[in-house]
Structure 1
Amino acid sequence: MTNAPDTDPERATILLLDDDPEITSALARGLALHGYDTIAVNRVDHALERLRTEDVGAAIVDTMLGEESGITFVRAAREEGYTRPLLMLSALSEVEDRARGLEAGADDYIVKPFSFEELVARLRVQERRARGKGRPKVKLDKATRRILAGAREVTLTEREFALLDVLIGRSGTVLSRGELFDMLWMGEGASAENVVDVYMGYLRRKLAPMADFGFEIRTIRNRGFVLAFSREKDVS
């Protein structure tokens, strides 16, 4: 799907919410050329579920979704604590329309037709702003298997905590499934490397949105996983 190198650990996943498959396909192809992976959905409830269960770096949302409204999604995402960039696309150019989108929680409002280079530039501006926001120090409590950051506190199972501890300890380094399996499961009698994917899914769901902790766990196609901090590493 993409001409961007698979080895790029800085790639972010962008959620595309639009009920026109031709538009989402065109956006996905264009974003891939700029190093982004994408998830395309056409309903508000599906989009919210993906935010809850996956590590989404930003969302590009169409205002008109048939009988639904992209503004409904933006407002609900903010109410659920999603703090990453939300950009709205719309053919509606009236000031009132833009105001409604921004008041709902959108970071930017782009009127159609637009230059794709402009869309990418605005997306990157919002990503930089998001990275520049302060975040609380992350604390790992090994005795209780808790991870804490500000008001967020999540208790993990023993194996989930061990996996997160390894990822943080090797942050910025792509670790293959085989490496993670050997470190955490080989001595326990497990026989299939897909156990790594299972526990990676558990971590992503429990920690979502990971922006609260200042990091994200990315899947690098054909290579493995990498934990990347949004700013300087700040964990104890």
Structure 2
Amino acid sequence: MTDTARILIVDDDPEILSALSRGLELHGYATLTENRVDSALARFEDAEVSAAIVDVMIGEDSGFDLVRAVRTAGHRTPILMLSALSEVDDRTRGLEAGADDYVVKPFSFDELVARLKVQQRRATPMPLRPARLDTSDWSIELDQRKVMLTQREFELLSMFAKHRDETLSRAQIFDSLWADKGASSGNVVDVYVGYLRKKLDPMRSFGFEIKTIRNRGFMLAGLAPVIGQADD
């Protein structure tokens, strides 16, 4: 991450606060912790919070009420609710209050981080102008963010850019970029799409997404990058 994302954790259990803080910091996040609804709500007003993890029960208060108050105040920060309650009605209450996702204890920490990243990507605003794929150094750049690509990653992304909003099959991509290079498996396409998604995460910050079209292939949706050199 170029800027460290700050995650607010709201729970009245000090052991859970400590464990979540340590785990998230190991994944490169900064954390803020609160154990009361009123102080947590103030954090949304005063601090730049990238996302929040809110427990359903916060002392005698309700995490549902906190989420509802956050949304009423107009904050669109991604919120994951965390609870030992697994009944459908409880999950429904959380989502109806305005939570973006609901994670049931006990949970896999890797799953929690993955769900957090999904919500952050969804919350990343699309820019109003396209990124540039620079042919001089195989990079993609927009505003203050620049990412270096390998030649094959650059060629793959360029192919998607030239066919924006078109579904490209794995066979089409493989035949164009790998068939004459000695590659023997179409799985290489999935591998390199994975490389791009990881390297450009969050991809929406460059104005586009590479979507998987089930049983068909991949499609670049959004603003297609402009291909050329920086001084063109």
Normalising by the smaller structure, the TM-score range is: 0.5 to 0.7
For 2:122, give the aligned amino acid: R
* Identity across the alignment (%): 60
1:37 pairs with 23, 30, 51, which one?
30
Relative to structure 1, the CA distance from residue 110 to residue 41 in structure 2 (aligned partners, 3 Å threshold; closer, same or farther) is: same
Q: Tell whether the 8 Å contact from 2:4 to 2:30 is kept in structure 1 after alignment.
A: yes
Relative to structure 1, the CA distance from residue 10 to residue 114 in structure 2 (aligned partners, 3 Å threshold; closer, same or farther) is: same
Name the structure 2 match of 1:67: 60
Which deviations, in whole Å up to 9, do the C-alpha atoms of 1:141-178 show, x marking residues without a partner? xxxxxxxxxxxxxxxxxxxxxxxxxxxxx9569xxxxx
CA positional deviation for 1:9 = 2.9
In structure 2, C-alpha distance between the alignment counterparts of 1:46 and 1:135, rounded to whole Å: 33
In structure 2, C-alpha distance between the alignment counterparts of 1:83 and 1:42, rounded to whole Å: 21
2:50 pairs with 54, 57, 65, which one?
57
SS in 2 for 1:84: coil
CA positional deviation for 1:68 = 0.2
SS in 1 for 2:205: coil
Note if 1:98 corresponds to 2:91.
Answer: yes
In structure 2, C-alpha distance between the alignment counterparts of 1:232 and 1:113, rounded to whole Å: 36
Name the structure 2 match of 1:86: 79
In structure 2, C-alpha distance between the alignment counterparts of 1:29 and 1:130, rounded to whole Å: 24
Flag the structure with larger Rg: 2
CA positional deviation for 1:136 = 8.1
Q: Tell whether the 8 Å contact from 2:80 to 2:100 is kept in structure 1 after alignment.
A: yes
TM-score scaled by length of structure 1: 0.54
2:17 pairs with 24, 43, 53, which one?
24
Relative to structure 1, the CA distance from residue 51 to residue 136 in structure 2 (aligned partners, 3 Å threshold; closer, same or farther) is: farther
| RMSD of aligned alpha carbons | 2.6
In structure 2, C-alpha distance between the alignment counterparts of 1:25 and 1:108, rounded to whole Å: 22
For 1:22, give the aligned amino acid: E
Which deviations, in whole Å up to 9, do the C-alpha atoms of 1:21-67 show, x marking residues without a partner? 11000000000011000000001110111110110000000001121
TM-score scaled by length of structure 2: 0.55
Note if 1:124 corresponds to 2:125.
Answer: no
Which runs of 5 or more structure 2 residues have no equivalent in the other structure?
130-142, 147-203, 208-232
Which runs of 5 or more structure 1 residues have no equivalent in the other structure?
1-7, 138-169, 174-229
Relative to structure 1, the CA distance from residue 66 to residue 85 in structure 2 (aligned partners, 3 Å threshold; closer, same or farther) is: same
In structure 1, C-alpha distance between the alignment counterparts of 2:43 and 2:127, rounded to whole Å: 23
For 1:103, give the aligned amino acid: E
Q: Greater relative contact order (Cα 8 A, min sep 6): structure 1 or 2?
A: 1
